[in-house]
Amino acid sequence: MAETLGGGIPIIVVSFPGVRGKQRWVAAVPVINEMVAEVRKRIPADAIVELSDQRLSPEQAAKLNLRLGDVRCID
């Protein structure tokens, strides 16, 4: 069974081979496995994607005006 959201939207960290720094992404979809897949659709194939322990609080998500299905880079 797929893991679902609990206390906030998980942050997905993306890094690129040969490039310093990382980007933080969020995907407002109800299943965590789908979050990573949705971010992967929007980045180069060689990018490295990791699910972070950090989460956006509901207040932070509201400030970003995230709606169900939204995927965006927050950095």
- Does residue 3 sit within a domain? no
- Does residue 62 sit within a domain? yes
Which residues, in sequence order, are CB contacts of 2 under 8 Å at separation 6+?
31, 32, 33, 34
- Does residue 1 sit within a domain? no
| Cα distance between residue 68 and residue 27, in whole Å | 8
Quote the pLDDT of residue 72. Answer: 95
Query: Which tens digit of pLDDT belongs to each residue from 25-68?
Result: 999 998 888 999 999 999 999 999 999 999 998 888 889 998 88
- Does residue 44 sit within a domain? yes
Query: Which tens digit of pLDDT belongs to each residue from 9-29?
Result: 999 999 999 999 999 999 999
Q: What's the number of domains the chain is made of?
A: 1
- Does residue 22 sit within a domain? yes
Quote the pLDDT of residue 6. Answer: 54
Structural domain that includes position 23: 9-73
- Does residue 24 sit within a domain? yes
